[in-house]
Each structure stands twice: as C-alpha cells, then as structure tokens.
Chains A and B, each alone.
Chain A
Amino acid sequence: MTTGTSREEFLRRLRATGSGDPGQPPAKPRPRFADKRGGPNGFIESWTALGGTAEQVPAEDLPGAVTAYAVGRDGPLLATAGLDVAADLTWPDCGSQAAAGSAVGVVRAVAAAAQTGTVLLRADDNRGRAASLLPPACIFVIDAGSVVDTLGDFLRDLEDPPSQLVAVTGPSRSADIESTLVIGVHGPGEVHAILIG
C-alpha cells in the first residue's frame, strides 16, 4: 500500500520537536481507595453493586450451577471448547449466527479484580471472544484464587498480553439517552460470576 506517509518521514517531523529528554521518569502511583475491597468477597460485593449476580461453589458443582442458571431460558447455552459443562452449542463450531441466537454464554475468566468488580478475559487458549459477547446473558467462571485487588495489579504484572484482553466491569450499559442508565445495549445485560473454590 502506497498511501500515507512513511514512518521515517512521520517520525522525522516529530524529532524536530520536543527535547527528546523526558527528564525524571514520571511516577506511576497505584490508586488507593477509601473503601478498600479484596478477595472473592470483595469482588462479589463490587460485582453485585454493578448489577451482576454471583455465587461461589466447589469445583465439582460447576456444571450444576451453570445448568441451574441457564434452565428455563429462551434459547440454547453456548460454551467455548474445554469447559466441563453441558452446553447446547460450542463456539466457534456453531457459527456466529447461532451464537447470536443463544440465550446464555459461559466462559472461563483468567482473573478478577475485587475493587472494581472486574472480570478478566483472554482470547487465547480456546477462550475466544464471541461467547462472552453475543448472548444476552453471560456466566463467567472464575478461580477464587485468581482474584486480585485492582485491574492495575493484574495489568502491571502482565508481560505477554494476548491478542485480546478484555476487562469486563458489570453488564453492558449506556447513558446516551437523557443520561439515563440502560442495561444490556450490545453486550450481555445479565452477567453472572461463578467463583470456584
């Protein structure tokens, strides 16, 4: 592709500006909170305050908990490969139209942050992107031992980020009309966290 400016030319213009010397490296403090939350209980408190639901179960009860959440819903249960649950559809084999028609998605999270009620999803290791995005409801399976205090605690230690990492903080929402909160605009409006262990 020949449109655009070459990187050299683009950066050359920038080199003509600024000192190139940032001086002292800037401080990068971590946030500190008046109401400090940590651990699985702290996560559950923050998550439910955002409108999510949560439960903590032993590992062997996971399939039952997923089934109990999905039962009676108007549509199939969608899971990514490698999750030990009784799903009706498997992503990506089912295709995106079918996935968009599912009622509940279930995905494995890699961590969660207690302070803000944030679930961390990586796209690699067969987790993908769509199963936690297309259905109107989503179950996040979280290892209770993986709960950190803040998103920053997770990010600052992250060395090789996957092609996509999404930090999910509550149900999809918008306040674009009259600054009034609506839940479930494009992503899942119902979000359920199952903490294992």
Chain B
Amino acid sequence: MSNPTATPVSFGRRADRALADERMRAAIARGTGLMVQRRHEAVAELVNADELRDAASAIRAATLQRLPELLEQWSDNLGALGGQVHWATDADEATAIVAGIVRRRGGKVIAKGKSMISEEIHLNEVLERAGAEVVETDLGEFIQQLAGEPPSHIVAPAMHKDRFEVADLLSADRGAPVSPEIDDEAAYARRRLRQAFLDAGVGITGVNFAVASTGSICLVENEGNGRMCSSLPPTHIALMGLERIVADFAELDVMLNLLARSATGQALTVYTNIVTGPRRGDEIDGPEELHVVVLDGGRSAALDTRFSPALHCIRCGACLNVCPVYRQVGGHAYDSVYSGPIGAVLTPLLKPDDPAARELSEASSLCGACTEICPVRIPLHDLLLHLRHRDAREDASRLRRAGFWLWSQAWSRRWIFRAMVLVARAGLPLLRRMRHLPDVGWLGAWRRGRELP
C-alpha cells in the first residue's frame, strides 16, 4: 500500500481494511498501550503537573495572539547570528526553497532527521525528483522509507509493524538477512546510516520550538540522528510551522517538562538540541550555513477561527495513544500525515479544500480521552464536534436540514417527546421481529455497529 491516496476511498472503507489487519492491530495495541502507561508514570513524577499543563496552555494561547511580534524578534535574533530564515506560504514554496539550497550547496546525499513538516510538504519526493538521495535517519522513519509508506504515528512512525516485518525490510535493503532481533535490527541501521551522516552535504531536521528571545531553535530526539543532521553536514536546513514559537527559555522549560513525558514517558528526551545560528568563527566544527524554513501552509487562515487551539499542539502523540478509534485502526486509515484526534482536527484546517479531510471528524467516538490527556489542554473532542457541526451546516441538503429542524423542534417539546417514547416502546417488538434495519444508504451506515435495544 505504497500510495493509499491513489483512489479516493472513504474513511469507513479504510478503517474496515485496517480492522481486518490483525497483525497491524496487535502492534498498535501494544505500542499505544505501552506509551500510555509510560506517560502516566512520567507525569506522576511531577507534583505540579496540572499547574504546568495550565501554564503550557496559556503560553500557547498567548503565543498565537502575538505571533508576528515573536516571529519578528526570533528571526531578527537568528539573522544577527548568521542564520538564514525563509518564509513559505505553502508547500510548493517550502519545497522550492529547500531544493534551491540543496542545489546551491551541492552534495548528493541528504541526511534527514524526523520532521512532520517535511511529510506535510512531501519534501522527499521533490528532492528525489531533483536527483538527490534523501536518507531518512530516524530508525522508524528509515523503516517507513524502506517500506514506501508514510509514518503511521507522529512519534513512532513504524509502530504498526512488528520486528519480523522490519527484518524483511532491512534484509531487502542489505541484500542479506538481518535477524528479527530488535538489537540486531538497530545495529544494522546504525551501521547503514552512519556513512550517510558523514557523506551528507545537507542535513534536514524539524523544529520542536523556536525561542524568540535568543533566535534559537530546539530539537528533541532520542537516537542522535537529529544531532548528527544538525552537526556534521556543512549545511543544516530546519523546517518549522509558524506556530512553533515560544517567547523565552522559561517558556521552553515549561514545554520541555511536558513534551517528552507526554510522548514517550521520559523526563527529557536523550538529546535536547538547542541551535542558535551556524558555526561561529572560532569554533572547531558544525555547519557553515543554517537555514530555517517557516511554513504557513494554511495555519494563518486557521488562526482567527474557533479551531485555533489546534495550533497549540506540541506533537507529543498522546491523543493518538488513548484514542479508541486510533487504537483500532492505526494511523494509515486516516490517510493524512497527522492521524488520531489531532490529525482529525488539523487535517481539514490545513487542507480546507480537500473533501476527504472533512470526513476525519467522524473518526472519533467523542469520548474525550484525547482532551483529557492533552498536555496543552486542547479541547480536541469539542473541536471535532464543532467541525462536524460546521460541515453538517455547509453540506446538508435542504431536505436533511428541514428534517433535523423538525426533529429538534419536536424533541424540545415535552409532550411530543413523551409520545414518541410511547410509540417507540410499542413499536419495539415489531422492530425486533424485523431483526435488522435495512442496510442501505445512510441508514445502513448508521445501523452498522448498533443493535436494537
């Protein structure tokens, strides 16, 4: 399933396909279960977790209120230290900027760290078309690149695969068997990717936070590949969404205390890289050029809507791990770079013209587990409900709207409601004899998964 977008298939169909994949579901159940457990243990170490979450929520909201000022300050500071900031309105601009830098700075090999933005703008395809060899160096992303699949989880891209599937992919890459032992698989990836770091002319990474007061970018990771990509190649290109900014290191501290705990259950990731400009005159190593590409990609349009809290997201993936829908169908069923509850909210905001993106708000039971676990307190299930509401308003036929209006009027009157309950009670035995409601049209879709009382 290298290209799940080839023919438009509804979320329901994709979910059905996912539900039939027992192997994938076992892997997702295990992965999400472990991540939730580790997250709970790590958050419990904090005495003031709630205070930090409230603060993080307020910090993100305040940031969105003064984005232009913070971005200006950040880019002035970074520019003064020799960093080059590029502004991209959309994916085409962002990929053109990166391709231009790659062309100018040469080097056939590009070492790439994990970056959701790069997935969002489909950067690899553009660079490969231009003749570059792009090597994904995060272990999970490397596996996904070999499989020809997009990531299925924001934090753990290959969560849906077991070690035997991984061994098959690595063996094909090596041209010789790699044993399905996880240590051996990681050791092979280390050897295989090491030369890419040393050969790369350009390293590409994401950005977790940009710090306005100093012009810094902060990148968190566990393997060391982000560090390699930002330290060894002569050019480092970092990609970030325009909302990824904090005012100062105190705000960064609040965020760092929540991000890794919520994502992987660590107090901090193994590497917290804070980059403030390219290598300076008297330094002994490091990239000569640092470029940061700031992407709008539909974000500014979402700012003035009631959906702007979705831009508070710090990409920890916790909402995926607790979502009863994600836990059953995995990430690929969403057919979007961003899956799970946050993906169901973000995707239609970032792709307002894509009818398939709208459908994702249905991929939720509205149970609220996502809202409860979100470290920055995004009211995810409220936003999903608002999206459904908006889409229903915009999409519904006049007949359907009239029907729902009638229903709402009727049920707002006590006597009609009572009468309907009585009718329903009398009619139930009759319905039971029918056993099933007819499996056609929207009635059929509604009926699936529901039983008569």
**Which residues of A come within 8 Å of B, CB atoms?**
1, 3-7, 9-11, 13-23, 25-35, 80-81, 91-92, 96-97, 100, 115-116, 118, 123-124, 126-130, 133, 150-152, 155-156, 158, 160-180, 182, 184-188
In the bound assembly, the distance between CA atoms of A139 and B44 in angstroms comes to 31
Q: A3-B93, A27-B55, A179-B31 are in contact. Are A172 and B270 (CB under 8 A)?
A: yes
Q: Does B272 contact A (CB under 8 A)?
A: yes
Cβ of B89 and Cβ of A10 under 8 Å apart? yes
User: Nearest-CB distance from B308 to chain A (Å)?
Assistant: 8
Name which residue of chain A comes closest to B273, CB basis. Answer: A166
> Cβ of A31 and Cβ of B271 under 8 Å apart?
no
B182 interface hit (Cβ, 8 Å): yes
Task: Please state if B249 and A156 are interface contacts (CB–CB under 8 Å).
Answer: yes
Please name all residues of chain A whose beta carbon is closer than 8 Å to the beta carbon of B45 when the two chains form the complex.
33-35
The chain B residue sitting closest to A167, CB to CB, is B272
B386 at the interface (CB under 8 A from A): no
Residues of chain A within 8 A of B242, CB atoms compared = 10, 14
B102-115 CB mask vs A (1 if < 8 Å, else 0) is: 00000000000000
Chain A residues positioned under 8 Å from B285 (CB to CB): 91-92, 123, 128-130
Complex alpha-carbon distance, A116 and B92, angstroms: 41
Judge if B269 is at the interface, Cβ distance under 8 Å: yes
Min distance, Cβ A102 to any Cβ of chain B, angstroms: 13
Q: Judging by beta carbons under 8 Å apart, are B227 and A14 in contact?
A: no
Number of A-B contacts (CB under 8 A): 293
- Chain A interface main SS type: loop
Indicate if the CB atoms of A17 and B300 lie closer than 8 Å.
Answer: yes
Contact B68 A11 (CB under 8 A): yes
Q: Which residues from chain B contact A128 at a C-beta distance below 8 Å? A: 283-286
Q: Are A28 and B264 in contact (CB under 8 A)?
A: no
Q: Which of A171, A184, A185 has the most CB of B within 10 A?
A: A185
CA distance A16 to B54 in the complex (A): 27
| Assembled-state Cα–Cα distance A28/B264 (Å) | 23
A176 and B137 alpha carbons, distance in the complex (Å):
12
* Residue from A35, A127, A166, A180 within 8 A of B274 (CB atoms): A166
Q: Out of A115, A161, A163, name the residue touching B279 (CB < 8 Å).
A: A163
User: Across the two chains, which residue of chain A brings its CB closest to B222?
Assistant: A173
How far is the CB of A108 from the nearest CB of chain B, in Å? 13
Q: Give B27's nearest chain A residue, CB to CB.
A: A178
Are A168's CB and B34's CB within 8 A? no
Contact across chains for B67 and A18 when beta carbons are under 8 A apart: yes
Closest residue on chain B to residue A171 by CB atoms = B270
State the CA gap A19–B61 with chains docked (Å): 11
Q: Is the CB of A176 within 8 A of B256?
A: no
Judging by beta carbons under 8 Å apart, are A172 and B224 in contact? yes
Chain B 236-251 interface mask (CB, 8 Å, partner A; 1/0):
0000001000000111
Which of B65, B143, B293 is the most central at the interface, judged by chain A CB atoms within 10 Å of its CB?
B65
Q: Is the CB of B267 within 8 A of A169?
A: yes
Pair A163/B267 contact, Cβ less than 8 Å:
no
- Chain B positions within 8 Å of A177 at CB level: 139-140, 143, 158, 161, 163, 166, 182, 185-186
Are A172's CB and B223's CB within 8 A? yes
Q: Are B52 and A29 interface neighbours, CB within 8 A? A: yes
Bound-state CA distance A32–B50 (Å) is 11
Contacts of A123 in B (CB 8 A): 279, 283, 285-286
User: What are 27 of the A-B contact pairs (CB < 8 Å)?
Assistant: A3-B97, A14-B68, A18-B64, A22-B63, A26-B62, A29-B254, A31-B48, A31-B257, A32-B46, A97-B198, A150-B253, A151-B253, A163-B278, A166-B272, A169-B266, A174-B222, A176-B156, A176-B158, A176-B159, A177-B161, A177-B163, A179-B156, A180-B182, A185-B139, A185-B224, A185-B225, A187-B228
- Which B residues between 193 and 228 are near A, CB-CB below 8 angstroms? 193-194, 197-198, 214, 216, 222-225, 227-228
Interface pick from B3-11, B80-88, B322-330 = B80-88
Known contacts A14-B303, A164-B274; decide if A182 and B67 are in contact (CB<8 Å): no
Q: Of A96, A126, A155, A176, which is in contact with the most chain B CB atoms at under 10 Å from its CB?
A: A176
Contacts of B223 in A (CB 8 A): 172-174, 185-187
In the complex with contacts A28-B253, A174-B186, A14-B300 CB distance below 8 A: yes
Residue of A nearest to B161 (CB): A177
Q: Give CA–CA (A184, B253) in the complex, Å.
A: 26
Task: List the B side residues contacting A156 at CB < 8 Å.
Answer: 249-250, 253
Contact between chains at B140 and A176 (CB < 8 Å): yes
Asked if B450 is at the interface (CB within 8 A of a chain A CB), the reply is: no
Closest to B226 in A: A186
With A28-B55, A100-B194, A179-B34 known as contacts, the answer to whether A151 contacts B271 (CB < 8 A) is: no
Most chain A CB atoms below 10 A, which of B183, B224, B250, B251: B224
Q: Which chain B residue shows the least CB distance to A159? A: B214
**Shortest CB distance B183–A (Å):** 6
B81 to chain A, nearest CB (A): 7
B193 touches A186 (CB 8 A): yes
A21 to B69, CA, bound (A): 11
How many whole Å from A157's CB to the nearest CB in chain B? 8
| Closest Cβ–Cβ distance, residue B343 to chain A (whole Å) | 19
Q: Are B137 and A186 in contact (CB under 8 A)?
A: yes
- Name A155's closest neighbour in chain B (CB-CB): B249
- Checking B48, B137, B161, B183 against A32 with a beta-carbon cut-off of 8 angstroms, the contacting residue is B48
Q: Which residues of B contact A96 (CB under 8 A)?
A: 198, 232
Is B250 within 8 A of A161, CB to CB? no
Specify which chain B residues have a CB less than 8 angstroms from the CB of A22 in the assembled complex. 62-63, 65-66
Residues of A within 8 A of B52 (CB): 29, 31
| Structural contact, A161 and B276, CB atoms closer than 8 A | yes
The answer to whether B267 and A161 touch across the interface, beta carbons within 8 angstroms, is no
For residue A118, which residues in chain B have a CB less than 8 angstroms away from its CB?
268, 272
